[in-house]
Amino acid sequence: MSQSERLRDIQIIARRDGRVSVEDLAAHFDVTHQTIRRDLAELSDQGKLQRIHGGAILPSSVANIGYQDRRDLNEAGKAAIAQTAARDIPNGCSLFLNIGTTTEAVARALLGHRDIMVLTNNLNVANILVDNPNCEIIVVGGLLRRADGGLVGTVAVQAIQQFKFDLAVISCSALDEDGDLLDFDIQEVGVSQTILKQARRSLLVADHLKFRRRAPARIGSLAQMDSFYTDAPPPSGLAGACKSWGVSVHVAGI
């Protein structure tokens, strides 16, 4: 069987079952796991499937993938983004880290920072930063989203409005071609919008996979950000827009 035929059949199986695993596909086609991983990477690059740990799922524009699968996606890229962003976060500042696996990576990169105050609506961020004795942690209230430890809703918005912080470091679920920052949960969107309003400067951390994703709820525009940290050069149109908006783009490793 040629690769093109195998790619076609993988998509048929994915549409039937909703997801595919490397192990099952390797057995089905009698090929190596490495061959299937290359196939799934190809389909992911084409936007036909979305990679998750151990396999792939059909891409959705209305529902996010599970937290564990999000955490496993592009761990190295997120860590590189986090290290690059952390170098531009000074000691002795106040900052907000919102919900997201990339902002959690930023929290890990801040473990060596001194005299910082971190506000967050992400319980995972708070738990990570417990290991930094030189970091004051403020967890804002809100409705607990058990799936990922996020705090959202009106209570979270009202709590954030009581603060003014130096930096907002936020992530998003998708980044559209026109620079719109998108998410799946409208309650989370309202919280992110409030975070941006209360920040003196705003940083977006989002890996290259966000360029290919779609989500229905708009947080705002990349034009509102001061800096954008990612792990691959943005598409040319988006890169040009960032230049015209005065948004500095930092590509990890470049």
Question: Does residue 30 surpass a pLDDT of 70?
Answer: yes
Q: 49 and 83, same structural domain? A: no
| pLDDT (0 to 100) of residue 65 | 63
Question: Does residue 92 surpass a pLDDT of 80?
Answer: yes
In this prediction, residue 48 has a pLDDT band, given cuts at 50, 70 and 90, of confident
Q: 118 and 30, same structural domain? A: no
Residue 143's φ and ψ, nearest 5 degrees, are -75, 120
| pLDDT (0 to 100) of residue 70 | 73
| pLDDT (0 to 100) of residue 1 | 83
Residue 196 domain flag: yes
Q: 101 and 36, same structural domain? A: no
Q: 109 and 216, same structural domain? A: yes
Residue 65 domain flag: no
Whole-number Å distance between alpha carbons of 168 and 103: 10
Residue 64 domain flag: no
Asked if 100 contacts 171 with a C-beta cutoff of 8 angstroms, the reply is: yes
Q: 208 and 136, same structural domain? A: yes
Q: Domain containing 16 — which CATH number?
A: 1.10.10.10
Residue 25 domain flag: yes
Read off the pLDDT of each residue in 64-76 and give the average, rounded to a whole number.
73
| pLDDT (0 to 100) of residue 129 | 98
C-alpha triplet 199, 141, 131: angle, nearest 5° = 80
How far is Cα of residue 146 from the mean position of the Cα atoms in its chain?
Answer: 18
Question: Residues with Cβ < 8 Å from 89, sequence gap 6 or more?
Answer: 95, 110, 113, 116, 167, 169
Domain extent, residue 46, equals 3-59
Give the chain's mean pLDDT.
92
Give the rounded percent of residues in the chain with a pLDDT score beyond 70.
95
Residue 11 domain flag: yes
Question: Does residue 62 surpass a pLDDT of 60?
Answer: no
The per-residue pLDDT for range 102-135, each reduced to its tens digit, is 999 999 999 999 999 999 999 999 999 999 999 9
pTM for the whole thing? 0.78
Of 16 and 237, the structure prediction assigns the larger pLDDT to 237
Q: How many structural domains does the chain have? A: 2
Of 177 and 66, the structure prediction assigns the larger pLDDT to 177
CA atoms within 13 A on the CB side of 166: 11
User: Which amino acid does the sequence have at 171?
Assistant: S
Q: Domain containing 218 — which CATH number?
A: 3.40.50.1360
The burial class, CB within 10 Å (0-12 / 13-18 / 19+), for 182 is buried
